[in-house]
Amino acid sequence: MQTEQNRSPLSDLLYSLLLPMAVMTAVCWCATLLWGFDVPTLIGFAVGYGYVVACCFYLAHSCEKAVELDVKKGKRVMLACYAVRFAVLFVLCAFSMLTGCINVIGVLVPQFFPRIVLTAREFLIKKER
């Protein structure tokens, strides 16, 4: 188990993204309540948030691993990470569309949140300087 002392800076960045992404997911789900409560939508946003968090940590782990390898192996690790993440997203979306038990929009919308949060953080950091 990781402690505060042996966590990487990348892990610290990811932990700082969790709360803003959770808030954005909740806000987006609340916006869907204007059209009425729907269990598949709630499940979709929960699955989407869980998947984006898992992807962020998998990407961070892959990046840390790739940096320690030579160029060819590092590229291969990052390509495999990319392929796995998008293959699983494709399977989740296909399952969502075929069964209807999970709202596919709820799965896809949280996938944009890491980029939004990181961009907003950069603007806030520049404003503080």
**pLDDT at position 11:** 79
Domain ranges, ordered by start, for the chain? 9-128
Confidence of residue 5 (pLDDT cuts 50, 70, 90): low
Residue with token string 């390509």: 79
Tell me the pLDDT tens digit for each residue of 14-36.
888 999 999 999 999 999 999 88
Instruction: Kindly report the pTM of this predicted structure.
Output: 0.85
Taking residues 47-59, report their average pLDDT. 94
**pLDDT at position 127:** 67
For residues 103 and 38, what is the distance between their CA atoms, to the nearest angstrom? 9
Tell me the pLDDT tens digit for each residue of 95-106.
999 999 999 999
pLDDT at 2 over 60: no
Tell me the pLDDT tens digit for each residue of 72-128.
999 999 999 999 999 999 999 999 999 999 999 999 999 999 999 999 988 887 766
